[in-house]
Structure 1
Amino acid sequence: MSQSQHPVALRIEQRVGGATRLLATVMCLPLLDGIFPALVLAGALSEPTGILEVGLLIFGGSATVAVILADMDGSPREQAKSVLLVGSVVVTGAVVEAALAPTIAAFIDLAVFERFAGLVILAVAAQTASARIGDYLPRPAIIIALGLVASLDPSGAQVAVQFDPGLMLRAAAAALVAVAFALHLALFGPWLRDIVDIDRFRFGSAVALGVLPLGLFGLVPGDAPLALAVLGMTFLFAFDPQDSVADFRSGDDSEDGTDRSQADDEYESVGPASADTVAEEDHAPWL
């Protein structure tokens, strides 16, 4: 069972099992449930800040942090190999779905679909914050399916496969951001486990996800890095080195206490030196 107590990670691990499979499912979940193609269609990758937000919050996110820091075993090099293996699948899937996005966009009203894409992100944010809230919300795939039906507009659509190399490149960049983030967690995991509060990061990440759709709804400028700012504050609040310092101090105290007790035991077992013995050692060192 997942040690992180992350609602998404716990639910997925019950189905797949294993840390590497769990990481693969968590990072590929936006590709499987339609969140990533929905954001691609909504234009979330049109700006560099959007690429970073999708990479860090959608592909990366608190679930990836929880799996790598709390559930994965092995050395940092072994964990890095697993991350690179999973990352190759994520990048490939992102490019393939971005290649199909222009064809799908020809059949839907993007203005309507963007609203449903924002609702999907809000649902994922609620599920990240609380498993109980997530039980009352529909699955992201259901919301996306409803959005496709509501925004379906086949008038003037051409049945032809369309490719946008620039969009495919931006999708690959977003996936690579997530892979670089996960690789950083794997390599520096032994240090990060002692200074990062995973639960704080989970709640902060949920808040960052919650503000991400504000740009899709037109409430804030689309190029405003509000979600990245919230994520940056989340990193600061999740930084908690007090536990590691306390463990270090307690370890020093226990070591000192052990040494002193051992010295006391040796003193009691040997006993104080007599005056004659001291005199002999001082005046006759050659004896």
Structure 2
Amino acid sequence: MSVSRHPIALRLEQQVGSATKLLATVMVLPLVDGIFPALVVAGVLTTATGVIETGILIFGGSATAAVILAEMDGSRRQMVVSVLLIGAIIIPLAALEAALAPTFKGFLNLPVFERFAGLVILTIAAKTASSEIGERLPSPGVIIALGLVASFDPSGFAIRTSPEYVLNGAAAAGVGVAFALAVALLSPHLRGRVDIDRFRFGSAVALGVLALPILLGPFDLMQTEAPIALAVLAVTTLFAYDPNAGPADGPAGDGTGDDPDGGDGDAADSSSEGDAGVDDAADDDDSPDSTDPPLDAPTAPGPIVDDDVAVIANGGDPSVSSDESDGTDPFADDDSRAPWL
């Protein structure tokens, strides 16, 4: 697994400390820096698609997945309990901030504020994709504050609320918690098989796609109910997942190698020993065969043949050639090839 070493994530990790606190900070951050209220005011959560996209990309996304897969340890039960405790905090806070959205809408010039909300999402996408670019951009809180100043209109100020906004806000946070729970439950399988950096870059692209309808609203471009951002995130997940990779926390080796039964090596050794025993027995058997003629029996003179032909006829053994009488060996040059070459 390619563990992301994003400088912003490292700085946040050093400031927060434990993995559970880091996950809580990552998931609560959209509520603190004003990203989530800006999306609610901009009307992103008015559809079911917007609720799901906001929950997965804002409360979930690459940061949540990276913390769970790369930083959190322990059993799945412990990780699930940690995620549920964090969810018990962010869901009520999201519902409360969503309940204030109608009041904010009353004293804001929505067309102007929506453009700033789109810029906030693009800024987050840029910071997610590249820390070098992100450090040159202002923080999301600064952009939202500038948007409030630029779109402020006190003439329509009135305290309002709507149950629909409350439900949508709580649902978006619930989707983010469900995403974190899914990653925690599948973490033993996902570790080592998900490229965090590749998933992070794809999440940044999905965030940029989410911001386009908000920014291009006055031009009637990208105004569609199709979940394009979710489609981009799904394709990113496919590219970031490698099913053939092994788990990162798997054992380095158990000494069994590629032999699942653990007995083939001994069988091979015993087989080779048996073959060696047979060969040794064959070599040690120097007793004359009953079919061999006696050593002192007279032999009839054979036909006179050439020395090389005699060597071939006798199985390549130069010891029985005609050169034996004078003590010379035609293959005394230690040639390792076959004698007849």
TM above 0.5, yes or no, is: yes
Structure 1 Cα separation of the partners of residues 197 and 3 of structure 2: 11
1:206-233, Cα deviation, whole Å (9 max, x unpaired): 1000111111122311523111111111
Structure 2 Cα separation of the partners of residues 48 and 252 of structure 1: 53
Higher relative contact order (CA 8 A, sep 6+): 1
Preserved CA contact (<8 Å) 1:208 1:230: yes
- Corresponding position of 1:51: 51
CA RMSD of aligned residues (A): 3.0
Structure 2: unaligned runs, 5 residues or longer = 282-341
Structure 1 Cα separation of the partners of residues 273 and 134 of structure 2: 65
- Sequence identity, in percent? 58
Structure 1: unaligned runs, 5 residues or longer = 277-287
CA apart distance, 1:92: 1.1
| Structure 1 range deviating more: 97-106 or 27-36 | 97-106
Structure 1 Cα separation of the partners of residues 213 and 184 of structure 2: 32
Structure 2 Cα separation of the partners of residues 254 and 43 of structure 1: 58
1:221 pairs, out of 223, 226, 231, with 223
Q: Secondary structure at the match of 1:4?
A: coil
TM-score (normalizing by structure 1): 0.86
Distance 1:65 1:6, change over 3 A: farther
- Corresponding position of 1:187: 185
1:123-177, Cα deviation, whole Å (9 max, x unpaired): 000110011111101000000000000000111323xx32111110011111111
Preserved CA contact (<8 Å) 2:103 2:157: no
1:61-95, Cα deviation, whole Å (9 max, x unpaired): 10001001111000011000000001111101101
Preserved CA contact (<8 Å) 2:206 2:233: yes
How do 1:110-129 residues align onto structure 2 when only pairs under 5 Å count? Answer: 110-129=110-129
CA apart distance, 1:262: 6.7
| Structure 1 range deviating more: 77-86 or 9-18 | 9-18
CA apart distance, 1:255: 3.9
- Higher percent of residues as helix: 1
CA apart distance, 1:264: 7.3
CA apart distance, 1:102: 1.4
- Corresponding position of 1:230: 232
- Corresponding position of 2:98: 98
- Corresponding position of 2:138: 138
Which ranges of 4 or more aligned residues in structure 1 deviate by more than 3 Å? Answer: 250-253, 255-276
CA apart distance, 1:266: 8.0
Preserved CA contact (<8 Å) 2:3 2:195: no
Q: Give the letter aligned to residue 256 of structure 1.
A: D
| Structure 1 range deviating more: 261-270 or 6-15 | 261-270
- Corresponding position of 2:204: 206
How do 1:1-287 residues align onto structure 2 when only pairs under 5 Å count? Answer: 3-158=3-158, 161-217=159-215, 218=217, 219-244=221-246, 254-256=257-259, 273=277
Distance 1:118 1:236, change over 3 A: same
Structure 2 Cα separation of the partners of residues 196 and 148 of structure 1: 39
Q: Give the letter aligned to residue 214 of structure 1.
A: L
Structure 1 Cα separation of the partners of residues 18 and 72 of structure 2: 9
Q: Secondary structure at the match of 1:241?
A: coil
Structure 2 Cα separation of the partners of residues 205 and 154 of structure 1: 37
Structure 2 Cα separation of the partners of residues 123 and 252 of structure 1: 51
Preserved CA contact (<8 Å) 1:9 1:22: no
Structure 2 Cα separation of the partners of residues 269 and 222 of structure 1: 76
Distance 1:94 1:154, change over 3 A: same
Report how many residues are paired: 272
